[in-house]
Structure 1
Amino acid sequence: MPEYKHLQLSPAQGTSGPAVVVRLIDSKLLKPELIFALRDELLSVVDEGNKKLVLDFAAVESFSSETLNSLLLLSDKVTKAGGQLRLCNIRPLVQSVFEITRLTAKFTIKPTEAEALADL
Protein backbone atom coordinates (compact mmCIF):
# COMPACT_ATOMS: atom_id res chain seq x y z
CA MET A 1 0.00 0.00 0.00
CA PRO A 2 1.26 3.49 -0.79
CA GLU A 3 2.07 6.04 1.88
CA TYR A 4 -0.66 8.48 2.82
CA LYS A 5 -0.36 11.80 4.63
CA HIS A 6 -3.90 11.97 6.04
CA LEU A 7 -4.81 8.29 6.37
CA GLN A 8 -3.50 5.18 8.06
CA LEU A 9 -4.53 1.90 6.42
CA SER A 10 -4.64 -1.50 8.06
CA PRO A 11 -5.67 -4.75 6.40
CA ALA A 12 -8.51 -6.45 8.27
CA GLN A 13 -10.99 -9.28 7.95
CA GLY A 14 -14.69 -8.59 7.48
CA THR A 15 -17.36 -11.23 7.90
CA SER A 16 -17.45 -11.89 4.16
CA GLY A 17 -13.76 -11.44 3.34
CA PRO A 18 -10.84 -9.03 3.35
CA ALA A 19 -11.39 -5.39 4.26
CA VAL A 20 -9.32 -2.31 4.97
CA VAL A 21 -9.58 -0.11 8.05
CA VAL A 22 -8.91 3.49 7.05
CA ARG A 23 -8.07 5.69 10.03
CA LEU A 24 -8.42 9.42 9.57
CA ILE A 25 -5.37 11.06 11.15
CA ASP A 26 -6.30 14.75 11.25
CA SER A 27 -8.49 15.99 14.11
CA LYS A 28 -9.83 19.11 12.39
CA LEU A 29 -10.96 18.69 8.80
CA LEU A 30 -11.70 22.34 8.09
CA LYS A 31 -9.17 23.79 5.63
CA PRO A 32 -10.05 23.30 1.97
CA GLU A 33 -6.54 22.20 0.96
CA LEU A 34 -6.57 19.52 3.66
CA ILE A 35 -10.04 18.31 2.70
CA PHE A 36 -9.17 18.07 -1.01
CA ALA A 37 -5.98 16.15 -0.23
CA LEU A 38 -7.93 13.83 2.07
CA ARG A 39 -10.59 13.30 -0.60
CA ASP A 40 -7.95 12.38 -3.18
CA GLU A 41 -6.35 9.90 -0.77
CA LEU A 42 -9.69 8.30 0.12
CA LEU A 43 -10.65 7.88 -3.53
CA SER A 44 -7.25 6.40 -4.35
CA VAL A 45 -7.81 3.71 -1.70
CA VAL A 46 -10.76 2.52 -3.79
CA ASP A 47 -8.80 2.93 -7.03
CA GLU A 48 -6.27 0.46 -5.61
CA GLY A 49 -8.99 -2.19 -5.59
CA ASN A 50 -10.13 -1.96 -1.97
CA LYS A 51 -13.89 -2.48 -1.94
CA LYS A 52 -14.70 -3.10 1.71
CA LEU A 53 -13.74 -0.13 3.85
CA VAL A 54 -14.14 0.81 7.49
CA LEU A 55 -13.56 4.53 7.93
CA ASP A 56 -12.42 5.18 11.52
CA PHE A 57 -13.25 8.67 12.83
CA ALA A 58 -11.68 8.28 16.30
CA ALA A 59 -9.27 11.19 15.75
CA VAL A 60 -11.81 13.55 14.16
CA GLU A 61 -13.10 16.34 16.40
CA SER A 62 -14.62 18.63 13.76
CA PHE A 63 -15.11 18.89 10.02
CA SER A 64 -16.67 21.12 7.39
CA SER A 65 -19.50 20.56 4.95
CA GLU A 66 -16.88 20.02 2.23
CA THR A 67 -15.72 16.97 4.19
CA LEU A 68 -19.26 15.61 3.96
CA ASN A 69 -19.13 16.10 0.19
CA SER A 70 -15.89 14.12 0.09
CA LEU A 71 -17.48 11.31 2.09
CA LEU A 72 -20.45 11.23 -0.28
CA LEU A 73 -18.07 10.95 -3.25
CA LEU A 74 -16.26 8.11 -1.49
CA SER A 75 -19.52 6.32 -0.74
CA ASP A 76 -20.66 6.59 -4.36
CA LYS A 77 -17.31 5.32 -5.64
CA VAL A 78 -17.32 2.35 -3.25
CA THR A 79 -20.90 1.48 -4.23
CA LYS A 80 -20.12 1.70 -7.96
CA ALA A 81 -17.14 -0.60 -7.40
CA GLY A 82 -19.47 -3.16 -5.81
CA GLY A 83 -18.09 -2.57 -2.33
CA GLN A 84 -19.25 -1.54 1.10
CA LEU A 85 -18.36 1.36 3.39
CA ARG A 86 -18.83 1.50 7.15
CA LEU A 87 -18.03 4.42 9.47
CA CYS A 88 -17.04 3.92 13.10
CA ASN A 89 -15.72 5.53 16.29
CA ILE A 90 -17.56 8.77 15.64
CA ARG A 91 -17.54 11.27 18.51
CA PRO A 92 -20.92 12.62 19.68
CA LEU A 93 -20.41 16.12 18.22
CA VAL A 94 -19.44 14.69 14.83
CA GLN A 95 -22.31 12.19 15.03
CA SER A 96 -24.73 15.07 15.55
CA VAL A 97 -23.64 16.59 12.22
CA PHE A 98 -24.47 13.33 10.45
CA GLU A 99 -27.87 13.32 12.19
CA ILE A 100 -28.69 16.98 11.49
CA THR A 101 -27.82 16.57 7.81
CA ARG A 102 -29.74 13.27 7.72
CA LEU A 103 -26.70 11.48 6.37
CA THR A 104 -27.25 8.68 8.85
CA ALA A 105 -29.59 7.35 6.16
CA LYS A 106 -26.75 7.34 3.60
CA PHE A 107 -23.96 5.93 5.78
CA THR A 108 -23.88 2.83 7.96
CA ILE A 109 -22.35 3.99 11.24
CA LYS A 110 -21.20 1.53 13.87
CA PRO A 111 -19.92 2.35 17.38
CA THR A 112 -16.67 0.36 17.08
CA GLU A 113 -14.26 -0.94 14.49
CA ALA A 114 -15.08 -4.52 15.44
CA GLU A 115 -18.80 -3.96 14.87
CA ALA A 116 -18.11 -2.25 11.55
CA LEU A 117 -15.96 -5.18 10.38
CA ALA A 118 -18.60 -7.66 11.52
CA ASP A 119 -21.08 -5.84 9.27
CA LEU A 120 -18.94 -6.27 6.12
Structure 2
Amino acid sequence: MQDRTRAKVAAIVAAASLKTQVVKVTDLDAGHVYRIRVMLRNNRVDGFDYHSEHHFKGMSDQSLNFYDYGTQGHVHLQLSGRKILGYDLQTETAFNGQVHGRLISLYDYETEQTYRFTV
Protein backbone atom coordinates (compact mmCIF):
# COMPACT_ATOMS: atom_id res chain seq x y z
CA MET A 1 0.00 0.00 0.00
CA GLN A 2 1.29 3.48 -0.81
CA ASP A 3 2.42 5.80 2.00
CA ARG A 4 -0.27 8.38 1.19
CA THR A 5 -2.97 5.71 1.19
CA ARG A 6 -1.88 4.59 4.67
CA ALA A 7 -2.04 8.23 5.82
CA LYS A 8 -5.56 8.58 4.40
CA VAL A 9 -6.66 5.42 6.20
CA ALA A 10 -5.22 6.78 9.46
CA ALA A 11 -7.00 10.12 8.94
CA ILE A 12 -10.34 8.43 8.22
CA VAL A 13 -10.05 6.16 11.24
CA ALA A 14 -9.17 9.14 13.47
CA ALA A 15 -12.10 11.19 12.15
CA ALA A 16 -14.49 8.29 12.74
CA SER A 17 -13.22 7.30 16.18
CA LEU A 18 -12.78 10.85 17.53
CA LYS A 19 -15.92 12.14 15.77
CA THR A 20 -14.11 15.23 14.54
CA GLN A 21 -12.59 16.72 11.40
CA VAL A 22 -8.93 15.83 10.81
CA VAL A 23 -6.68 18.32 8.98
CA LYS A 24 -3.27 16.63 9.15
CA VAL A 25 -1.71 13.28 9.92
CA THR A 26 1.82 12.72 11.20
CA ASP A 27 3.76 9.54 10.43
CA LEU A 28 5.60 9.07 13.74
CA ASP A 29 8.29 6.77 12.34
CA ALA A 30 9.14 8.75 9.19
CA GLY A 31 8.48 12.13 10.81
CA HIS A 32 6.41 13.20 7.81
CA VAL A 33 3.30 15.39 8.08
CA TYR A 34 0.55 14.75 5.54
CA ARG A 35 -1.83 17.62 4.84
CA ILE A 36 -5.02 15.63 4.55
CA ARG A 37 -8.49 16.83 5.50
CA VAL A 38 -11.16 14.29 6.41
CA MET A 39 -14.61 14.51 7.91
CA LEU A 40 -17.62 12.26 7.94
CA ARG A 41 -20.65 13.82 6.27
CA ASN A 42 -23.90 11.92 6.61
CA ASN A 43 -21.73 9.01 7.83
CA ARG A 44 -19.76 9.03 4.56
CA VAL A 45 -16.05 9.71 4.13
CA ASP A 46 -15.29 13.14 2.66
CA GLY A 47 -11.58 13.83 2.25
CA PHE A 48 -9.05 15.94 0.38
CA ASP A 49 -5.32 15.39 -0.08
CA TYR A 50 -3.61 18.78 -0.42
CA HIS A 51 -0.45 17.25 -1.94
CA SER A 52 -2.15 15.50 -4.86
CA GLU A 53 -5.03 18.01 -4.88
CA HIS A 54 -7.52 15.15 -5.21
CA HIS A 55 -10.59 14.13 -3.26
CA PHE A 56 -11.27 10.74 -1.74
CA LYS A 57 -14.82 9.88 -0.82
CA GLY A 58 -16.88 7.16 0.75
CA MET A 59 -19.64 5.65 -1.27
CA SER A 60 -21.70 4.22 1.60
CA ASP A 61 -22.95 5.31 4.99
CA GLN A 62 -22.61 1.68 6.13
CA SER A 63 -18.79 1.53 6.03
CA LEU A 64 -15.62 3.59 5.82
CA ASN A 65 -14.79 2.26 2.35
CA PHE A 66 -13.55 4.98 0.02
CA TYR A 67 -12.52 5.76 -3.53
CA ASP A 68 -9.35 7.82 -4.06
CA TYR A 69 -9.70 10.04 -7.12
CA GLY A 70 -5.93 10.63 -7.18
CA THR A 71 -4.86 6.99 -7.36
CA GLN A 72 -8.16 5.86 -8.89
CA GLY A 73 -8.25 3.06 -6.32
CA HIS A 74 -10.79 1.65 -3.91
CA VAL A 75 -9.99 0.88 -0.29
CA HIS A 76 -12.21 -1.31 1.90
CA LEU A 77 -12.03 -0.12 5.51
CA GLN A 78 -13.81 -1.24 8.67
CA LEU A 79 -13.52 0.11 12.19
CA SER A 80 -14.95 -2.13 14.88
CA GLY A 81 -14.36 -0.64 18.31
CA ARG A 82 -10.61 -0.05 18.33
CA LYS A 83 -9.79 -2.64 15.65
CA ILE A 84 -9.09 -1.71 12.03
CA LEU A 85 -9.46 -4.11 9.12
CA GLY A 86 -8.95 -3.25 5.48
CA TYR A 87 -7.93 -4.08 1.97
CA ASP A 88 -6.40 -1.86 -0.72
CA LEU A 89 -7.79 -3.11 -4.03
CA GLN A 90 -5.24 -1.22 -6.14
CA THR A 91 -2.21 -2.95 -4.60
CA GLU A 92 -4.17 -6.05 -3.49
CA THR A 93 -2.86 -5.52 0.05
CA ALA A 94 -4.57 -6.36 3.33
CA PHE A 95 -3.93 -4.33 6.46
CA ASN A 96 -5.10 -4.20 10.04
CA GLY A 97 -4.47 -2.07 13.09
CA GLN A 98 -5.73 -0.42 16.23
CA VAL A 99 -6.79 2.98 17.47
CA HIS A 100 -5.61 4.36 20.81
CA GLY A 101 -7.10 7.84 21.08
CA ARG A 102 -5.13 10.03 18.65
CA LEU A 103 -2.63 7.24 17.87
CA ILE A 104 -3.37 4.89 14.98
CA SER A 105 -1.18 1.89 14.23
CA LEU A 106 -1.47 0.03 10.92
CA TYR A 107 0.15 -3.24 9.94
CA ASP A 108 0.66 -3.49 6.17
CA TYR A 109 0.90 -7.10 4.94
CA GLU A 110 2.67 -5.99 1.73
CA THR A 111 5.65 -4.44 3.55
CA GLU A 112 5.27 -6.59 6.69
CA GLN A 113 5.72 -3.45 8.81
CA THR A 114 3.73 -1.50 11.38
CA TYR A 115 3.21 2.22 10.78
CA ARG A 116 2.23 4.64 13.54
CA PHE A 117 0.29 7.86 12.92
CA THR A 118 -1.07 10.62 15.09
CA VAL A 119 -3.54 13.40 14.43
TM-score bracket for this pair, using the shorter chain length? 0.3 to 0.5
| Structure with a larger share of its residues in strand | 2
TM-score (norm 1): 0.33
- Structure of larger gyration radius: 1
Higher relative contact order, chain-length normalized (CA < 8 Å, sep 6+)? 1
TM-score (norm 2): 0.33
| Structure with a larger share of its residues in helix | 1
